[in-house]
Amino acid sequence: MAISARATQAKGAVDVVTTFLARIRALADDPDALDLTFGNPHEMALPGFTAALRAHVEPRSADWFGYKASERPAQEAVAAGLSAELGLPFEPEDIAMTQGAFGAISLALALLTDAADEVVIPVPGWFCYEPMLHAVNLVPVRAPLEPVSFDLDVDAIARAITRRTRIVIVNSPANPTGRVYSKQEWESLAAVLEEASRTHGRRIWLISDEPYRRVLFDDVEFASPAASYPWTVIDYSYGKVLLAPGQRLGYLALSPLIPTHEREELRDALMPLGLAIGWGFPDAVMQYSVPEFETLTIDLAELTRKRDRLYAALTDAGFEITRPEGTFYLWGRAPGGDAIAFCDALAERGVYVMPGTLFDQPQHFRISLTATMEMIEAALPHLVEVATASRGAAA
């Protein structure tokens, strides 16, 4: 075999995504398709986003497009934004600019883990954690969320921890469920991690995956576990709040509560490890644009209208939907109980939603609210009709 064992495992963990992509291949050829699958834009980019890029693309010095590690103005803008949002004194030196949240997670894994360490991940959770862990010789260990509510299940995390555990990954606002976890949940998790670190004589780190931190509905209050557990690193992406995931930009932030000697050691490693993972820094123009990007967001009022319209119409039609508190996803149980059958029946009508099989939940489905309101209105009658037929077939 040409590819390595870990490459085989990583590829195997992405199979569920590639299989899904193969199933929805028809999408590309059908201009009338209603694509409610991935969190991709369906409208033109924010004018402020394009303006910032345009403002910074014209070189102002000979080294404008030279190699860029983490640029100081970007780090300062991030530290100021994070400090205001989370009420913790983040320092610019503790911010590593990265290629989105993907890049920030890769950097965190490079900084904190050794080969064969175990990393606890939530289920249902983002489908890229497992392949990313396999690709760097780490062992994913699944910890289920509470069934039905999809609350954090701290006892399940405690059960998943062994003496090999190095990291627990948490994600709030959560993909795919849209749940936002509370300060009390983080406090309970912190107590478990503190206790387990002591029992096993090895510090367990928390990666708080927060790319949807600014995509919140209503007045839901965001709490970061960084405020509850000092040994936390935060990964972030601008791809969600600006709905431009193809322009790669994000960061890894070291919590200011990490004990000083450990934080200094990590800080000194941010640049060398950014290099070691393959120059994981964002492109120069993206970094120059961070101060402007910090002030921009997609239209959250319109996103809320789409959430409210779909949630009300689907619950009225008998669907069981988890009301999203954040993210741009809507998560529900597939009528009839078979997500693939439900999604395939919709696809036959040109409506594409994501089966929960991508998240290890074969009875659920996910709808992306990044579709336009027109697309949502057009898809609704199909969702309701297919639901009625699916329930009939299952009865």
- The residues that touch ligand PLP, with contacts defined as CB under 6 A, are 39, 100-102, 126, 171, 175, 209, 211, 237, 239, 245, 250
**Contact partners, residue 152, CB within 8 Å, separation at least 6:** 122, 145, 146, 170, 181, 185, 189
* For ligand PLP, the closer CB: 236 or 311: 236
Q: How far is the CB of 142 from ligand PLP (least distance, A)?
A: 15
SS3 274: helix
CA-based nearest residue to 207, from 274, 282, 132, 135: 132
* For ligand PLP, the closer CB: 99 or 390: 99
Q: Tokens 């029946």, residue?
A: 345
* For ligand PLP, the closer CB: 250 or 336: 250
Q: How far is the CB of 394 from ligand PLP (least distance, A)?
A: 30
Q: How far is the CB of 300 from ligand PLP (least distance, A)?
A: 17
CA distances from 69 to 99, 107, 125, 251, 286 (A): 11, 13, 31, 12, 12
Q: How far is the CB of 123 from ligand PLP (least distance, A)?
A: 13
* For ligand PLP, the closer CB: 128 or 313: 128
| Alpha-carbon span 301 to 218, nearest angstrom | 9
| Alpha-carbon span 175 to 359, nearest angstrom | 9
CA distances from 220 to 69, 178, 217, 323, 327 (A): 35, 12, 6, 12, 12
Q: How far is the CB of 269 from ligand PLP (least distance, A)?
A: 21
* For ligand PLP, the closer CB: 125 or 332: 125
* For ligand PLP, the closer CB: 39 or 332: 39
Q: How many CB atoms lie within 10 A of CB 212?
A: 26
Q: How far is the CB of 353 from ligand PLP (least distance, A)?
A: 16
* For ligand PLP, the closer CB: 169 or 266: 169
Q: How far is the CB of 5 from ligand PLP (least distance, A)?
A: 25
* For ligand PLP, the closer CB: 49 or 102: 102
Q: How many CB atoms lie within 10 A of CB 301?
A: 7
Q: Tokens 């809507």, residue?
A: 330
| Alpha-carbon span 84 to 196, nearest angstrom | 31
Q: How far is the CB of 240 from ligand PLP (least distance, A)?
A: 6
Token digits of residue 257: 């509560």
* For ligand PLP, the closer CB: 98 or 113: 98
Q: How far is the CB of 103 from ligand PLP (least distance, A)?
A: 7
The β-bridge partners of 143 are 122
Contact 380, 39 (CB under 8 A): no
CB-hemisphere CA count at 13 Å for 45? 18
Q: How far is the CB of 245 from ligand PLP (least distance, A)?
A: 5
Give 3-state DSSP helix, strand, coil % of the chain, rounded to 5. 45, 15, 40
Regarding beta strands 139-144 and 118-123, do their DSSP bridges make them parallel or antiparallel, or are they unpaired?
parallel
Q: Tokens 């939907």, residue?
A: 321
* For ligand PLP, the closer CB: 179 or 263: 179
The β-bridge partners of 218 are none
* For ligand PLP, the closer CB: 282 or 336: 282
- Residue closest to ligand PLP when measured from CB atoms: 100
Q: How far is the CB of 331 from ligand PLP (least distance, A)?
A: 13
CA-based nearest residue to 296, from 243, 353, 357: 243
CA-based nearest residue to 245, from 286, 300, 301, 217: 286
